[in-house]
Amino acid sequence: MKHAYVFPGQGSQFSGMGKELYETNGLAKELFEQADAIAGFRISDIMFAGTDEDLKQTRVTQPAIFLHSVIRFKTMDSTLPDMVAGHSLGEFSALVANKTLLFEDALQLVIIRAQAMQKACELQPSSMAAVLALDDVKVEEICAAIQQETGEIVVPANYNCPGQLVISGSVKGIEIACRRMKEAGAKRALVLPVSGAFHSPLMEPAKAELAAAIEAASFGNPSCPVYQNVTGLPVTDPAVIKKNLVDQLTGAVRWTQSVQRMIADEATRFTEVGPGKVLQGLIAKIDKTVATEGVG
């Protein structure tokens, strides 16, 4: 019986996030102030009082979710995790939780990642869409066929749970894919309100900048395995962790596979740390037999 800690990614943000922590916990206040200094602007003000529109900007969203998750983790009175994982951005939070990265180093990497991804989004109009109730293999086949026939980029991006796969690509590619997914029997194929095609080849321009920053950062030996998005497998080697973090930008988030492997490795309890309850819901759909809880 093992205890897994999991950390959410982009999309879980909300106005007021972290405000109560800041006001009631001395360590949390200290960490938020440190984060403002590192970021070069008062990101805490945007988190506590910004509009939904303010929080949707990638350069704000990613560090905001990271800060909420990590500061909440650091103020918890609990035992260390036996294993960790994070959904997309959440992988950086997981790497602080298992002591691979220091708080300040991870925050700097998240800021660089967010800015690089935002710049990549501005280079070409792109989008993402959620495909519901269609077999993963069928989604993969449709994406591959569209790319071969039209040259438009469209790829599986997030394997969230059985029956929910998010695709990513050019605006035209996503439009064609949504139509074909519905024709193939998908219950829904819904374009998402995001600023770009995350976890697709369209993020390639962001890779070099992030890779250089990750290579220069200090990665320690983790206290427990991190189950990384690009493979769904447990990793403890800092060199492999670095490579997987870079590959994650253009590779799919294999969340279903990660959770299944964690359960195979004896995880019986999952604690989601950070804003929202998205991961708890996904884990319950992957395997109803495991216990899930949230600490926000």
> Known catalytic residues?
88, 199
Secondary element (H or E) of residue 245: helix 238-247
Q: What angle do CA 95, 249, 58 make, to 5 degrees?
A: 85
The whole-angstrom distance between residue 100's C-alpha and the CA centroid of its chain comes to: 17
Strands 126-132 and 154-161: unpaired
**Beta strands of 141-281 (E only): which ranges?**
154-161, 164-170, 188-191, 226-227, 234-235, 267-273
Integer Cα distance of 206 and 118 in angstroms: 9
Please say whether the beta carbons of 38 and 44 come within 8 A: no
Instruction: List % helix, strand, coil for the chain (3-state, nearest 5).
Output: 50, 20, 30
Scan for tokens 């991804």, then name that residue.
Answer: 117
Rounded to whole angstroms, what are the CA distances from 26 to 51, 82, 90, 241?
26, 27, 24, 32
- Residue 5 DSSP one-character state: E
